[in-house]
């Protein structure tokens, strides 16, 4: 498709498509639904932004990432694709203004928070518009089987009844197992979508699992050995974030912190300092980082075992988005399995779902114990194939002890 290439260059300045982009763009332009599963940094945005620029009418983009919406809209406006956003950060006046301008056809792309989809005003507005495409970013949020279920995402499907004729629906996510993919198709109501899954390998990341370390010591000496690098330390509870944060500060290592127990102001200040390289290290719960577009994160350390590999790879994958080397280190301790089981029992999941969660946790623990290539383990977990071991992970470089392989795994 010559035209798409030309438009890609014209609007975005890129000479060629990255893997998967062209097929997805083409499919959308031809009116077929699409599901793109591509790792972080693969360039999912272009897959809907380019069609949005080329198609007549307005493209709606559903995104849960309020802070990112503004960045994306600003960037689009800068390259001459008029874009707006509708979310809870707008004042009443800005909101009225935006609604008026959308109705007047001032925009090609409108970013919408999922909560907005059910507002009466919004549903009325879309009936008056010509909307050729609805793009759903972070589409795993629609699935209860994914790692970040948001009930408001279910409203996407209900929204479609208001838009005539039915728009093309395109969904994107970085991580989805086969079960989650099927659920996305069903819950969003994708109709015979083109499915593109590009490789999960991240050739610039080296994965490692460290067992039996004194975690605090490990982190302190790690941070001291690379004082200039930006990185994230994930812990599983607020309490543990506080503890690690305090510990680092006591040692004179400056670090920010981020968790849901802090005020909105403190969270956004903390995030901003990190994004602009004022603090190099962020200690955080998994509340931090979905969609964070900081390219020069050099390491992601997991202080605790995450609950599943989807979460782990999504979080660890925030390292090295610029293509430069990134280290992803998981500090394993057997008691973290107990913590995750406890959290899992505390949750109010249905029995069937709980069973799945246990099984996911089991796979996460297996990852910590495998002597096979860690990158290959993850890729095959997500249903992909790898030709050969990565040569970079702690299994490949054989840094870890080969004992006590199955003890903790059996406890589950």
Q: How many CA atoms lie within 13 A of 386 on its CB side?
A: 19
Pick from 214, 225, 205: which is nearest to 325 by CA?
Answer: 205
The region of 39-47, 113-121, 252-260, 300-308 touching ligand ADP under the rule CB under 6 A is 39-47
Burial letters for 94-127: b for 16+ Cβ neighbours within 10 Å, e otherwise?
ebeebbeebeeeebbbbbbbbbbbeeeebbebbe
Single residue of 24, 42, 139, 284 touching ligand ADP by CB under 6 A: 42
**Shortest distance in whole angstroms from residue 81 CB to Mg ion:** 16
Q: By C-beta, is 102 or 142 nearer to ligand ADP?
A: 142
Q: By C-beta, is 271 or 340 nearer to Mg ion?
A: 271
Contact 49, 29 (CB under 8 A): no
Q: By C-beta, is 44 or 392 nearer to Mg ion?
A: 44
Which listed option, Mg ion, ligand ADP, none, makes contact with residue 279 (CB within 5 to 8 Å by class)? none
Indicate whether 150 belongs to the interface with ligand ADP (CB under 6 A): no
Q: By C-beta, is 21 or 279 nearer to ligand ADP?
A: 21
DSSP 8-state secondary structure symbol assigned to residue 392: S
**Shortest distance in whole angstroms from residue 75 CB to Mg ion:** 12
Indicate whether 289 belongs to the interface with ligand ADP (CB under 6 A): no
**Shortest distance in whole angstroms from residue 222 CB to Mg ion:** 29
Indicate whether 202 belongs to the interface with ligand ADP (CB under 6 A): no
Burial letters for 307-325: b for 16+ Cβ neighbours within 10 Å, e otherwise?
bbbbbbbbbbbbbbbeeee
Sign of CA dihedral 72, 73, 75, 81: positive
Sign of CA dihedral 395, 332, 310, 41: negative
Indicate whether 173 belongs to the interface with ligand ADP (CB under 6 A): no
**Shortest distance in whole angstroms from residue 17 CB to Mg ion:** 16
Contact 47, 184 (CB under 8 A): no
Q: By C-beta, is 43 or 215 nearer to ligand ADP?
A: 43
Q: By C-beta, is 140 or 400 nearer to ligand ADP?
A: 140
**Shortest distance in whole angstroms from residue 390 CB to ligand ADP:** 21
Cα–Cα dist 249/406, whole Å: 37
Binding site for Mg ion (CB under 5 A): 44
The region of 10-18, 201-209, 245-253, 324-332 touching ligand ADP under the rule CB under 6 A is 10-18
Which listed option, ligand ADP, Mg ion, none, makes contact with residue 107 (CB within 5 to 8 Å by class)? none
**Shortest distance in whole angstroms from residue 9 CB to ligand ADP:** 10
The region of 34-42, 146-154, 175-183, 353-361 touching ligand ADP under the rule CB under 6 A is 34-42
Contact 234, 285 (CB under 8 A): yes
Which listed option, Mg ion, ligand ADP, none, makes contact with residue 193 (CB within 5 to 8 Å by class)? none
Residue nearest to Mg ion (CB): 44
Contact 88, 98 (CB under 8 A): no
Contact 309, 282 (CB under 8 A): no
- In the chain, the N- to C-terminal Cα span, in Å, equals 52
Which residues are near ligand ADP by CB under 6 A? 14, 17-18, 21, 38, 40-46
């Amino acid at each position: 498709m010559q035209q798409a290439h030309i438009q890609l260059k014209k609007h975005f300045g890129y000479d060629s498509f990255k893997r998967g982009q062209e097929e997805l763009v083409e499919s959308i332009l031809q009116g077929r639904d699409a599901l793109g599963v591509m790792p972080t940094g693969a360039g999912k945005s272009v897959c809907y932004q380019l069609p949005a620029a080329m198609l007549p009418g307005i493209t709606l983009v559903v995104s849960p990432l309020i802070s990112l919406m503004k960045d994306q809209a600003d960037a689009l406006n800068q390259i001459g694709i008029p874009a707006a956003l509708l979310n809870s950060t707008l004042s009443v006046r800005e909101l009225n203004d935006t609604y008026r301008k959308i109705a007047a056809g001032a925009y090609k792309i409108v970013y919408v928070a999922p909560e907005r989809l059910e507002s009466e005003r919004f549903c009325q507005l879309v009936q008056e518009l010509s909307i050729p495409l609805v793009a759903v970013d972070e589409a795993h949020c629609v699935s209860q089987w994914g790692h970040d279920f948001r009930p408001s995402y279910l409203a996407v499907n209900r929204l479609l009844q208001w838009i005539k004729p039915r728009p093309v629906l395109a969904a994107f996510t970085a991580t989805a197992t086969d079960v989650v993919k099927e659920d996305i198709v069903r819950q969003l109501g994708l109709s015979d979508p083109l499915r593109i899954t590009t490789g999960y390998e991240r050739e610039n990341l080296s994965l490692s699992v460290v067992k039996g370390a004194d975690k605090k010591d490990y982190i302190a000496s790690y941070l001291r050995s690379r004082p200039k690098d930006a990185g994230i330390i994930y812990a599983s509870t607020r309490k543990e974030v506080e503890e690690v944060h305090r510990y680092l500060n006591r040692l004179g290592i400056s670090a920010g912190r981020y968790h849901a127990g802090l005020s909105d102001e403190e969270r956004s200040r903390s995030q901003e300092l990190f994004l602009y390289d004022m603090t190099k290290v962020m200690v955080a719960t998994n509340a931090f980082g979905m969609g964070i577009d900081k390219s020069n994160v050099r390491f992601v350390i997991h202080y605790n075992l995450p609950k599943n590999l989807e979460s782990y790879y999504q979080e660890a994958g925030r390292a090295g988005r610029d293509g430069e080397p990134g280290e992803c280190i998981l500090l394993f301790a057997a008691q973290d399995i107990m913590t995750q089981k406890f959290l899992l029992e505390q949750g109010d999941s249905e029995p069937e779902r709980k069973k799945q969660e246990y099984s996911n946790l089991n796979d996460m623990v297996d990852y910590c114990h495998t002597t096979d290539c860690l990158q290959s383990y993850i890729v095959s977990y997500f249903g992909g194939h790898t030709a050969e071991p990565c040569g970079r992970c702690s299994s490949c470089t054989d840094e870890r002890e080969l004992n006590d392989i199955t003890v903790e795994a059996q406890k589950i």
